[in-house]
Amino acid sequence: MTHAQAGLPQTLGLRPRAAADKPAEILLYDEIGFWGTTAKDFVQTLAQAGDGDIVVRINSPGGDVFDGLAMLAALQAHAGNVSVVVDGIAASAASFIALAGSSVSMAENAFLMIHNAWGVVVGNRNDMTETASVLSKIDGQLASLYAQKTGQTADAMGQLMDAETWFTAQEAKDAGFADTILSGGESAKASLRPGVFARAPEILTAPAPAAVLTDLSASLASRRRLIQLAEAENAG
């Protein structure tokens, strides 16, 4: 639900190869999972790109961790070199999808964010304890993925995740998440609704136009209704 408030254009696009020796480009400009781009959507687009080199361009607030891990696995299994460019924002699940790149580049005004996994559970104390255990395991896996990329320890990554850490392009490069900073080009606009993340930089949370907020309100009301129906079904 929180990711559903992200103020980014929702797009999963494919730019075919201009020539046989040129890479195809996949634009992941969307939330990850049910409310945006699912792993199934992404794998189908990846298949359409065909074997050979690809560039994955990211401007995403993240979303579902399991869809994100499936996307990461699909890119790691791709028959060709994978390069990643963070055009605007790679937050949450989008941050570890970026790890699929043999090289990770960021626009100079882009951001990357890592944090602990989130979850919603309805039930008794045993359900809560079980969910906490699962979330802890997920956090451990993600910390290991970040550690492999950065060369830092999993414990160090865990501390950054605990703090919900936001990196500018230069900070991401210094920490080992990014290899190159792209300058001189026009980067994609990255923005988030206020309250999406606890520590989001102020530059990303500028107030949205009234029309956008109206559309958002209607969308969230619909999603809340779906969750209420699911909770009622589980309670029964």
pLDDT tens for 196-232 read 677 777 777 665 444 444 444 444 455 555 555 555 5
Q: Whole-prediction pTM value? A: 0.78
* Co-location of 170 and 232 in the same domain: no
**How far is Cα 112 from Cα 126, in angstroms, rounded to an integer?**
35
Pairing of strands 82-91, 54-60: parallel
Domain that holds residue 236: 208-236
* Co-location of 214 and 200 in the same domain: no
Contact between 178 and 168 under an 8 Å Cβ cutoff? The reply is no
* Co-location of 140 and 26 in the same domain: yes
* Co-location of 199 and 214 in the same domain: no
* Co-location of 102 and 118 in the same domain: yes
Mention every residue, 6+ apart, whose C-beta is less than 8 A from residue 110. Answer: 86, 87, 88, 89, 90, 168, 169, 187, 190
* Co-location of 147 and 226 in the same domain: no
pLDDT at site 187:
58
pLDDT at site 20:
85
Low-confidence ranges of the chain (pLDDT < 70): 1-10, 184-196, 205-236
* Co-location of 143 and 220 in the same domain: no
Q: Mind spelling out the 3-state secondary structure of the chain?
A: CCHHHCCCCCEEEEECCCCCCCCEEEEEECCECCCCECHHHHHHHHHHHCCCCEEEEEEECCECHHHHHHHHHHHHCCCCCEEEEEEEEEECHHHHHHHHCCEEEEECCCEEEECCCCCCCCCCHHHHHHHHHHHHHHHHHHHHHHHHHHCCCHHHHHHHHHCCEEEEHHHHHHHCCCCEEECCCCCCCCCCCCCCCCCCCHHHCCCCCHHHHHHHHHHHHHHHHHHHHHHHHHHC
**How far is Cα 195 from Cα 203, in angstroms, rounded to an integer?**
13
| Amino acid present at 52 | G
- What total number of domains does the chain contain? 2
* Co-location of 92 and 185 in the same domain: yes
* Co-location of 104 and 175 in the same domain: yes
pLDDT at site 108:
95
